[in-house]
Structure 1
Amino acid sequence: MEEARIVPYFEFLDSDPVSLQVAHTGRSFRIHRRLLHAKSPPLIAALDSNLKEGQSGVYEFQEVAEGTIARFIEWAYRGDYPATVSGTNIGQIPTLLESTETNIDKKPASTTPKSHFTPENHPLLVHIRLYMFSETYLVPDLQQLAYEKVAACLTDLDKPKSLDTTLVVIDALRLSFPRLPQHDRLLDWLLRYAAYCLDKLREQGPFHDLLEEFPTLSSRMMMSLGPASSPPWRTTQPTNLFGGYPVK
């Protein structure tokens, strides 16, 4: 794939800024109008309309996290985004950390306050949120980049080696499956990955809860699963099917 075109500063620096606001926190991030026009036609169309967004110059996101908006703006200006976002000031272009670590089974080497991974800043979930944002707001270059970063995360991981990382993979499936189109290429990639590391996932109660909540997830994974390694008369039934979780 060709690299996304970086918009030269002289093409947008003389345009007025507009604001992208996160509804549940009220925090706003500013971006030059012409740059936003080059990156996301649906967003600029709303801001150029006679609707409330056009009148106020503010586009409000109802179900998008602050970090996703910050990374989108970082990518719009610089052509890339890191997984970790530092503190930001309301109304200013966000400051992002330079680290682009993709190995999701390790803690970051550099230390900043609260630098450990959480559901909000874990690289795998960060990239998936950017992918879904790009799907909604028609940002194909960012969507391709996020897709590649998800693939790099899971390729480096191979299979989860810790409980925390296994649970993050389950969170990734829970985040993606109900929100992405059923024939989306990233969703297909994630389901094939889940089938590959099923031996790790099936030990966790939350994975079984997920399968119960979304039965079609099982049928989609089935296309990538192989036969059992041995017949039932040569197999010992485990005493605890879900690792540390009690059998329901």
Structure 2
Amino acid sequence: MKAAQRSGRVVYAGAVHACVPHARGLQLEDGRVLAEDEVQWLPPFEVGNIIALGLNYADHLKELSAELTVGVKDEPLVFFKSPGSLLGHRGRTERPAAVAMMHYECELAVVIGKPARQVKAKDAMACVAGYTVCNDYAVRDYLENWYRPNLRVKNRDAATVLGPWLVAAEAVADPHALGLRTLVNGQLKQLGTTANMVHRIPELIEYLSAFMTLSPGDVILTGTPEGVVNVQAGDQVLCEIEQIGRLANTLSLETTRCPT
């Protein structure tokens, strides 16, 4: 794929820059070439509403079947996340010290490119600008009900990692035929395919746009396959989606901060 079909955003020398991939890392719009570790990565686009799907993979539903109150025939399980939950590629996510189970979730993130209101599924893909990789952490200790995820589970600061690149929709022939995998400290832990989505992208856009307007920059996090495991402070997590990219993230221990 041509570099122009991938775009990102980074902070370098005190300013935000658009960038594209380069053989040596990334290239800023002014032509400077930098290594990945020379910049602070941001989510690769200006994010609007963050709309997340729970339990949207058939294998993940089966994996959790003993705990569920929702099945494959129910309408999509949707919830919102706040801007403070976002983090870029190579960022650090804090893990609360007292919790027993915190896990990653490798997800295909769908980015809306134009306003969508009451769009039918057959027309929905025309509203998609592109895709990126998401790692959406969850703290299972705080889960009160699988059908109603609460804020402490899924809306934690810097626990929704996006990037590194926004890949143009036209560069991905079939977003429902992409392999996903997650490695923790270099060891494969999660392996799946977007073919196992319960509610596919056109159906999700039709469902959401029936009662709310989707705007450019809104992002739909489409859920994760089976294979989530507990992660600890110090772990390095790499989420990969075929044709989309490799998103790196590190866990650190949660720290207490006092107001200044």
Same fold (TM over 0.5): no
Bigger radius of gyration: 1
Higher strand share: 2
Structure 1 length normalisation: TM-score?
A: 0.23
User: Comparing both chains, which one has the higher relative contact order based on Cα–Cα distances under 8 Å and sequence gaps of 6 or more?
Assistant: 2
Structure 2 length normalisation: TM-score?
A: 0.22
Higher helix share: 1
